Structure 1
């Protein structure tokens, strides 16, 4: 499902928004957040469910890094290192999924496998 598909525009988005704002109207803020999170995972999983664990692990990693940075002393070297480690891990994941096949194809063409 793409953002510009009819299924998204006329079914998924209205249903998600109606339920989200309905829950918030009745003061069920936590339930609304859970609904929005579940809807986001459903939208992402609709594209390719195999990558859903990767998304969840990435979210948990970033949450933990944010907590660790918040617990460190402000402007400390530890907070700076944690920030750079968090960014580096995210860039490594993106780089792997974007460029792994490119490098493998290049190596295969050089060694003729």
Structure 2
């Protein structure tokens, strides 16, 4: 090393200074480690809370989808029943069908007709 003066580091001040720097570095590492662990803990709590919320929402969504499916099935049944009833209403508006229904169901007869019931 040309042109530089190299001093010996064996002096008590230099040793104290390097020891202090080493202690400062160790303390800084300890503080950084604590901060890192605290941040990991906080992030872990957030992940846990949000994970539970997502899980609850997924369960609720499943229940709602099951209810929707059940309601869709009921709706389909009701629509088919409504079609049958509407066709029955149209048939009841037909005088010939109505007359036939009254005669068969209520044993109604016109004047001069005789009704015979046979045992089966």
What range describes the TM-score normalised by the shorter chain of this pair? under 0.3
Q: Which has more helix, going by share of residues?
A: 1
Larger radius of gyration: 2
TM-score with structure 2 length normalisation? 0.23
TM-score with structure 1 length normalisation? 0.24
**Which of the pair has the greater relative contact order for Cα pairs under 8 Å at 6+ separation?**
1
